[in-house]
Amino acid sequence: MPTHGHPPLDHVLDLLLDAVCVVDAQGRFLYVGSAGERIFGYTAQEMAGRPMIDLVFPADRARTLNAVDEIMASGHKPHFENRYVRKDGRIVDIMWTARWSEADRVRVAVARDVTELKRAQSMQAALYAISEAAHAAEDLPALFQRIHRIIGDLLPAKNFFVALYDAAEDRLTFPYHVDEFDASPAAGTLDSGTLSAEVIRSGQALHLSRDSAGMRAAVSYPDVGSAAVDWLGVPLHSEGRVIGALVLKSHAGEALYTAADTELLKFVSTQVATAIERKQAQTRLQHMARHDPLTDLPNRSLVQDRMATALARARRDRTGLSLLYLDLDRFKQVNDRFGHAAGDRLLQEVARRLDHCVRESDTVGRMGGDEFVVLLASIVSPAHAPQVAEKIRRALCQPFDVAGQALSISPSIGIAHYPEHGEDPEQLIRRADEAMYAAKQDGGNRIRTAGRAGKPGSETMGASRVP
């Protein structure tokens, strides 16, 4: 009977889309099917004799060796996944099915390239994670940290920063910047000489590698630095405009970005832009709810919250705390004579002067109308409060230039101390308000400290006339 011949087995194996690999007991490649060149980038001859572990992505080497031990102990292991570094530097995801032959002292494994599948799964997971981050992050810095972690699961992102552009003010800032060598660039305008600005201006992704003339010239850019060998930036598009850029930098030759990486970063950047704008809108709404719309100072609600926090710290650290409550003398006459617009501008200038009279750790707030408070947290001695009050009194007694009009006012200031005059925000506000009212009743332009319960307060400084 005639027999039907068949092609040699190695020819059949070469037709497979998956790569058949044979590795000896020491972990060296003995045989790699022709599909291995497509998957790993090396020819079969280049892989023969090489230790398998040398081609594994460094972060996956320990668990790969653990899997090898399992295979040699149990005889087989299906569906093990790890990453390999191709000859061209790209990272590929491999799913293995492997069996150990004790008689032949070799491992036979089939390698399937699942890079595109893993990438698609990772992209979908990243989109979901970014959307969740926009809701879960309490503020923009927290959102940026989450975005960094999410992108780091997709691409090498050890060095990562976010650039944001405010077109109304022509201001480019770098609110999030993580780099192992370089400091964050200074804020500036769109023509301040950064590659990030070029990405934002053009609305196009920009990739410079160490082998390009552009990268050799890019070391002068403040957002590149002197050590980067690869730089990838993509614009953040939102409703037809560019609000910023996402940037990845590599200082190591083994982490070079590809065209596929660029497309991946561009894909997630749209969701990132949406998340950033959503968080910015939430931040603006929260700020509006907690700040006075005219002066942008903390309002009564925020002042009370900060007082509660400062009181808890004062109790814990056994430090002092003082509250100044002030009212503007003759402010009504300013409104009546020059109009409410002039009065509003005067209140804004008062807020600015008050801010210049205190430390950054202190709080200046507007309680309403022409009444303000100053929270002096963590003070060493109650004697510090009258000194600050006198500094404020002198500052506010200086003439104000409002729309070409020289306006003169003075403050009446009341002071209350913790714990002498109260142990909660409401008590301290009430006692400081009472002391302020007493100063105003005495003619204004005075500073009074609240007295002990049932006793009148004392005048500490001040004059009965405006200088």
CATH number, domain with residue 277: 3.30.450.40
The 8-class DSSP code of residue 297 comes to -
pLDDT class for 226, splitting at 50, 70, 90? confident
Could you tell me which residues are beta bridge partners of residue 207? Answer: 232
Is residue 431 within 8 Å of 422, Cβ to Cβ? Answer: yes
- Of 259-263, 291-295, 411-415, the one with minimum mean pLDDT is 259-263
Residues 285 and 225 in one domain: yes
Task: State the CATH number of the domain containing residue 102.
Answer: 3.30.450.20
Number of structural domains the chain divides into:
3
Question: Does residue 10 lie within any of the structural domains?
Answer: no
For the beta carbon of residue 464, count every other beta carbon within 10 angstroms: 10
pLDDT of 16 higher than 90: no
Residues 336 and 425 in one domain: yes
pLDDT of 455 higher than 80: no
- What is the distance of C-alpha 390 from the center of its chain? 40
Could you tell me which residues are beta bridge partners of residue 462? Answer: 446
Average pLDDT across the chain, whole number: 89
Domain final position from 290, 311, 339: 290
Task: Look at residues 275, 282, 425 and name the one whose alpha carbon lies nearest to residue 365.
Answer: 425
pLDDT of 464 higher than 50: no
Give the whole-angstrom CA distance, residue 330 versus residue 410.
Answer: 8
Domain final position from 59, 92, 113: 113
pLDDT class for 134, splitting at 50, 70, 90? confident
Question: Does residue 101 lie within any of the structural domains?
Answer: yes
Residues 75 and 105 in one domain: yes
pLDDT of 143 higher than 80: yes
Question: Does residue 414 lie within any of the structural domains?
Answer: yes
The 8-class DSSP code of residue 53 comes to G
Residues 47 and 124 in one domain: no
- Of 219-228, 303-312, 337-346, 367-376, the one with minimum mean pLDDT is 219-228
pTM of the model: 0.65
Q: DSSP states of 385-427 as a string?
A: HHHHHHHHHHHHHS-EEETTEEE--EEEEEEEEETTT-SSHHH
Who has greater pLDDT, 200 or 251? 200
Question: Does residue 7 lie within any of the structural domains?
Answer: no
Q: Give the sign of the dihedral formed by CA 59, CA 65, CA 67, CA 68.
A: positive
Phi-psi region of 189 (alpha: psi -120 to 50; beta: other; left: phi over 0): beta
Q: What is the C-alpha end-to-end distance of the chain, expressed in Å?
A: 126
432-444 per-position pLDDT tens digit = 999 999 999 999 9
Residues 280 and 304 in one domain: no
Q: Which residue has the tokens 């399992």?
A: 70
Give the whole-angstrom CA distance, residue 55 versus residue 53.
Answer: 5
Looking at residue 467, what is its pLDDT? 34
- Of 13-22, 273-282, 349-358, the one with minimum mean pLDDT is 13-22
Establish whether the linkage from the previous residue to 8 is cis, with ω within 30° of 0. Answer: no
Domain final position from 98, 113, 128: 113
Task: State the CATH number of the domain containing residue 425.
Answer: 3.30.70.270
Region 26-35: mean pLDDT is 92
Q: DSSP states of 160-185 as a string?
A: EEEEEEETTTTEEEEEEEE-SSPPPP
Is residue 199 within 8 Å of 223, Cβ to Cβ? Answer: no
Residues 444 and 375 in one domain: yes
pLDDT of 462 higher than 80: no
pLDDT class for 1, splitting at 50, 70, 90? very low
**What are the tokens at 462?**
């001040």
Who has greater pLDDT, 275 or 221? 275
pLDDT of 417 higher than 80: yes
pLDDT of 457 higher than 90: no
pLDDT of 192 higher than 80: yes
74-121 per-position pLDDT tens digit = 988 888 999 999 998 888 999 999 999 999 999 999 999 998 888 888
Helix axes 259-290, 115-136, angle to 10 degrees: 10
Is residue 292 within 8 Å of 370, Cβ to Cβ? Answer: no
Residues 102 and 136 in one domain: no
Q: What range defines the domain where residue 415 resides?
A: 300-462
Residues 176 and 306 in one domain: no
Residues 249 and 350 in one domain: no
Residues 374 and 393 in one domain: yes
Instruction: Tell me the CA distances in angstroms from 443 to 173, 456, 462, one per residue in order.
Output: 49, 16, 10
Residues 128 and 229 in one domain: yes
Q: Which residue has the tokens 């976010």?
A: 162
Question: Does residue 5 lie within any of the structural domains?
Answer: no
Looking at residue 96, what is its pLDDT? 93
Is residue 366 within 8 Å of 292, Cβ to Cβ? Answer: yes
pLDDT of 2 higher than 70: no
Biggest CA-to-CA distance, the chain: 129
Region 308-326: mean pLDDT is 93
Residue 443, CB half-sphere, CA atoms under 13 Å: how many? 7
3-state helix, strand, coil in the chain (%, to 5): 40, 30, 30
Residues 123 and 86 in one domain: no
Question: Does residue 11 lie within any of the structural domains?
Answer: no
pLDDT of 3 higher than 60: no
Q: What are phi and psi of 26, to 5 degrees?
A: -90, 0
Instruction: Mention every residue, 6+ apart, whose C-beta is less than 8 A from residue 344.
Output: 294
Question: Does residue 3 lie within any of the structural domains?
Answer: no
Question: Does residue 253 lie within any of the structural domains?
Answer: yes
pLDDT class for 465, splitting at 50, 70, 90? very low
Could you tell me which residues are beta bridge partners of residue 313? Answer: none
To the nearest whole percent, how much of the chain has pLDDT over 90? 65
Tell me the chain's radius of gyration from C-alpha atoms. 34
364-374 per-position pLDDT tens digit = 999 999 999 99
Looking at residue 217, what is its pLDDT? 61
Helix axes 340-356, 384-397, angle to 10 degrees: 140
pLDDT class for 247, splitting at 50, 70, 90? very high
